A and B are shown apart, each in its own frame.
Chain A
Amino acid sequence: MQPKEYDVVVMGAGIAGAMIARALSRYRLRVALVDRANDVGTGASCANSAILHSGHDPSPGSLKAEMNRRGNELWHDLVHELEVGHRWTGAMIIALGEEQLPGLEKLLARGTENQILGLEIISRAEVLRREPLLTPDVSGALWTPTAGVIDPFGGTVAAAENAVTNGVSLFLNAEIHDAVVSDGALVAVQTTAGEFRARWFINALGVHADDFMHLVGDRPDFAITARRGEYFIFDPNRVQVQNVLFPMPTDKGKGILVSTTAHGNTFVGPNAEEVADKEDTTATRDGMAEILEGGRRLIPSLESRDIIAGFSGVRATGNANRDFVIEISAAVGGLLNVAGIESPGYVSAPAIAERVEGLLRDAGLEMVVKPEWNPHRNARPAFKELNHEQRSDLIRRNPNYGRIVCRCENVTEGEIVDAIHSPVPARDYDAIKRRCWLGTGRCQGSFDYPRVMEILSRELDVPMTAVTKKGPGSEFLARTTKG
Chain B
Amino acid sequence: MTCDTSYDVIVIGGGPAGLAAALSARAEGNVRVLLIERNDSLGGILPQCIHNGFGAVIFGNDLPGPEYAYRYQEQVEAADIDVMLDTMVMDLTPERDLYAMNATHGYLHFRPRSIILAMGCRERTRAQIRLPGSRCAGVYTAGTVQRLVNIEGYMPGRRFLILGSGDIGMIMARRLTIEGAEVVGVLELLPFLTGLRRNFVQCLQDYDIPLHLSTTVSNIIGGQRLEAVETVRVDEELQPIPGSTKRIECDSLLLSVGLIPENELSLKAGVHLDSRTGGPLVDSTMATNVPGIYAAGNVTSIYDLVDYVSKAGEVAGRHAARYAGAAGTARGGDAVEATVAMRPGQNVGTVIPQQVRIDTTGREEVTLMLRPNALIERKVSVEVWDGDRPIISFRENYSRPAEMMVHTLRAKQMQALAEANERELTVVIQ
Residues in chain A within 8 A of chain B (CB atoms): 232-233, 237, 279, 281-285, 287-288, 304-305, 307-311, 388-389, 391-392, 395-396, 399-404, 407-408, 410, 442-444, 446-447, 449-450, 454, 464-465, 468-483
Chain B: residues with CB nearer than 8 A to chain A?
1, 38, 86, 88, 90-91, 99, 101-107, 109, 122-123, 125-128, 130-137, 140-141, 143-144, 147-149, 151-158, 179-180, 218-220, 223-225, 240, 251, 260, 264, 267
- CB contact between B224 and one of A281, A408, A474 (< 8 Å): that residue: A474
Please measure, in the bound complex, the distance between the C-alpha atom of A77 and the C-alpha atom of B106, giving whole angstroms.
35
Check A399–B264 contact: CB distance below 8 A: no
Residues in chain B near residue A404, CB distance under 8 A = 38, 88, 101
Indicate if the CB atoms of B107 and A473 lie closer than 8 Å. Answer: no
Name the contact of B127 in the complex, choosing from A285, A308, A396 (C-beta under 8 A): A308
User: Are A480 and B135 in contact, CB atoms less than 8 angstroms apart?
Assistant: no
Contact assessment for B136 and A399 in the assembled complex, using a CB-CB cutoff below 8 Å: no
Contact B130 A474 (CB under 8 A): no
User: Nearest CB to that of A287 among chain B residues?
Assistant: B132
Check B148–A446 contact: CB distance below 8 A.
no
Residues in A neighbouring B155, C-beta threshold 8 A: 477-481
A237: chain B residues at CB < 8 Å are 264, 267
Q: How far is the CB of B277 from chain A (nearest CB, A)?
A: 14
Q: How far is the CA of A286 from the CA of B235 in the complex (A)?
A: 18
Asked if A450 contacts B144 (CB within 8 A), the reply is: yes
A476 to B102, CA, bound (A): 28
Partner of A402, one of B102, B132, B144, B153: B102
Q: Is the CB of B143 within 8 A of A446?
A: yes
- Given known contacts A477-B148, A477-B155, A481-B154, A282 and B107 CB-to-CB distance under 8 angstroms: no
The 3 closest A-B pairs by CB, nearest first: A473-B224, A402-B103, A392-B107
Is the beta-carbon distance between B107 and A388 smaller than 8 angstroms? Answer: yes
Q: Given A282-B220, A285-B132, A392-B106, does the pair A446, B153 have CB atoms closer than 8 Å? A: no
Q: Is the CB of A476 within 8 A of B156?
A: yes
CA distance A412 to B267 in the complex (A): 22
Q: Which residue of A lies closest to B159 (CB)?
A: A478
Closest residue of chain B to A308 (Cβ to Cβ) is B127
Given contacts A284-B132, A285-B218, A395-B107, whether A480 and B154 have CB atoms under 8 Å apart is: yes
Nearest CB in chain A: distance from B11 CB, A = 17
Q: How far is the CB of A158 from chain B (nearest CB, A)?
A: 24
Closest chain B CB from A436 CB (angstroms): 16
- How far does the Cβ of A455 sit from chain B's closest Cβ, in whole Å? 13
Chain B residue at minimum C-beta to C-beta distance from A404: B88
Q: A473-B224, A473-B225 are in contact. List 4 more A-B contacts (CB 8 A).
A: A282-B132, A304-B130, A392-B1, A480-B153
Instruction: Please judge, given known A-B contacts A473-B225, A476-B156, whether A283 and B102 are in contact too, CB under 8 Å.
Output: no
**A388 CA / B153 CA spacing, docked (Å):** 37
Q: Is the CB of A281 within 8 A of B264?
A: no
Complex: how many Å from CA A201 to CA B159? 44
- Closest Cβ neighbor of A464 among chain B residues: B154
Knowing A402-B106, A446-B144, A464-B154 are in contact, say whether A478-B251 is a contact too (CB < 8 A).
yes
Given contacts A477-B148, A481-B155, A482-B179, contact A308 B101 (CB under 8 A): no
Residues of chain B contacted by A232 (CB below 8 angstroms): 127
List 16 A-B residue pairs with CB atoms under 8 Å apart, sorted by A's residue number: A283-B133, A285-B218, A287-B132, A308-B127, A388-B91, A391-B101, A403-B103, A407-B38, A444-B127, A449-B148, A454-B152, A468-B224, A474-B225, A477-B155, A480-B154, A481-B154
Q: Is the CB of B179 within 8 A of A481?
A: yes
Contacts of B132 in A (CB 8 A): 282-285, 287-288
Residues of B within 8 A of A283 (CB): 130-133, 135
With A449-B144, A470-B224, A482-B180 as given contacts, are A395 and B106 in contact (CB-CB < 8 Å)?
yes
Question: By the criterion CB–CB under 8 Å, are A307 and B154 in contact?
Answer: no
**Contact B219–A477 (Cβ < 8 Å):** no
Evaluate whether A481 and B153 lie within 8 angstroms (CB atoms) in the complex, with A285-B132, A407-B38, A446-B144 already known: yes
| Residue of B103, B135, B153 touching A483 (CB-CB under 8 A) | B153
CB-based contact B156/A282 at 8 Å: no
Chain A positions within 8 Å of B128 at CB level:
305, 307-308
Asked if B137 and A407 sit within 8 Å, CB to CB, the answer is: no
Q: Which residues of B contact A284 (CB under 8 A)?
A: 132
Q: Given the complex of chains A and B, what is the CA–CA distance between A450 and B136 in angstroms?
A: 17
B287 vs chain A, min Cβ distance (A): 23
A284 to B133, CA, bound (A): 6
> A442: which B residues are within 8 A, CB to CB?
122, 260, 264
> Known contacts A282-B220, A404-B88, A476-B156: does B122 contact A447 (CB below 8 Å)?
yes
Chain A neighbourhood of B218, CB < 8 A:
285
Establish whether residues B135 and A389, one from each chain, have CB atoms under 8 Å apart when the complex forms: no
Report the nearest A residue to B105, measured CB to CB: A402
In the complex, which residue of chain B has the Cβ closest to the Cβ of A305? B128
A472: B residues at CB distance < 8 A:
224
Contact B156 A473 (CB under 8 A): no
Q: Is the CB of B130 within 8 A of A307?
A: yes
Query: What residues on B are CB-neighbors of A311 within 8 Å?
Result: 135
Collect the chain B residues with CB atoms within 8 Å of residue A279's CB: 223
Contacts of B101 in A (CB 8 A): 391, 395, 402, 404
Contacts of B219 in A (CB 8 A): 282
Q: Please, which residue of chain B has its CB at the minimum distance from the CB of A237?
A: B267
Cβ-defined contact, A288 with B130, below 8 A? yes
B125 surroundings in chain A (CB, below 8 A) = 308, 443-444, 446
When chains A and B are docked, how far (Å) is the Cα of A288 from the Cα of B220?
Answer: 14
Name the residue of chain B whose CB is nearest to the CB of A235. Answer: B128
Instruction: Name, among B134, B158, B220, the residue most crowded by chain A CB atoms within 10 Å (CB to CB).
Output: B134
Q: Which residues of A contact B136 (CB under 8 A)?
A: 469, 474
- Closest CB-CB distance, A413 to chain B, in whole Å? 8
Q: Counting chain B CB atoms within 10 Å of each CB, which of A305, A311, A474, A482 scores highest?
A: A474
A479 to B156, CA, bound (A): 7
Bound CA span A237–B267, Å: 9
Residues in A with CB closer than 8 Å to B156 are: 476-478
Return the contact of B103 from the options A281, A285, A399 (Cβ within 8 A).
A399
CB distance from B257 to the nearest CB of A (A): 12
- A77: shortest Cβ distance to chain B, in Å? 34
The answer to whether B88 touches A475 (Cβ under 8 A) is no
Q: Distance in Å from the Cβ of A305 to the closest Cβ of chain B?
A: 7
Return chain B residues, CB-CB under 8 Å to A388: 1, 91, 99, 107, 109
Task: Report the bound CA distance from A117 to B225 in whole Å.
Answer: 47
B256 nearest CB across to chain A (Å)? 12
Query: A399, B122: Cβ atoms under 8 Å?
Result: no
